[in-house]
Amino acid sequence: MADIFTKQKRSEIMKQVKSKKNKSTELRLIQFFKQYHITGWKRNYPVKGHPDFVFPAKKIAVFVDGCFWHGHDCRNTRPADHQDYWQKKRERNIKHDQEVTRMFQKRGWTVLRIWECELKKRNIPHLKEKLIPILK
C-alpha cells in the first residue's frame, strides 16, 4: 500500500517526531560499561554521523541500533498497515548506516554497531565477547 500522504506532507509529519536519544538502550549500555569497568567513553560527541558513544582516545564510534528501525530481523514483527512505506524507511536507514560506517572507517575509526536485542540479559555473554576485547 502506498503512503496516504504526499512526500512533502510525510516529511513535515516525520520532522515533528523528536528523537529521545534511544534513552533506554543507551542507559543499558552505560550500565554494561560500568559493570565491566569500561572507561573513556563520551556521549553527545560533536562529530558528523552522531554515534551514541565515542571513545576518542581509541577512535571508536559505538552505535546502538534499534532492531526494527535499522533492519535487524530478530523480532520478525512488521506493521500490518503501510508495509511498503515502512520497508522503504528501513531500507533507507540501513543504507544511511552503511554510509556513516564507511565515513568513520575512512577517517581511521573503528565502528561498533550494537543491536538493541544484544542488550537483553540473555545476550550479555555474546555482548561481552564482542565488546570487551575492543574496548578494554
Residue 74 falls within a domain, yes or no? yes
pLDDT at 18 over 60: no
> Residue 77 and residue 19: Cα distance in Å, rounded?
21
Q: What is the pLDDT of residues 44-99, one digit of tens each?
A: 898 889 999 999 999 999 999 988 888 888 876 677 788 888 888 889 999 999 99
Residue 3 falls within a domain, yes or no? no
Whether 119 contacts 112, CB under 8 Å? no
Residue 10 falls within a domain, yes or no? no
Rg (CA), the chain: 17
> Residue 65 and residue 116: Cα distance in Å, rounded?
6
Other C-beta atoms lying within 10 Å of the C-beta of residue 42: 13
Query: Residue 58's domain is classified under what CATH number?
Result: 3.40.960.10
Residue 124 falls within a domain, yes or no? yes
The C-alpha cell that represents 118 in the structure block = 544484544
Q: Give the count of domains, the chain.
A: 1
Residue 116 falls within a domain, yes or no? yes
Task: For helices 23-35 and 124-135, give the axis angle rounded to 10 degrees.
Answer: 70
SS3 98: helix
Residue 58 falls within a domain, yes or no? yes
Domain hosting 83: range is: 21-44+52-135
Residue 16 falls within a domain, yes or no? no
Please name the helix (run of DSSP H) or strand (run of DSSP E) that holds residue 113, with its range, or none.
strand 110-115
Whether 109 contacts 60, CB under 8 Å? yes
> Residue 64 and residue 66: Cα distance in Å, rounded?
7
pTM beyond cutoff 0.95:
no
> Residue 70 and residue 86: Cα distance in Å, rounded?
11
Q: What is the pLDDT of residues 118-128, one digit of tens each?
A: 999 999 999 99
> Residue 85 and residue 7: Cα distance in Å, rounded?
11
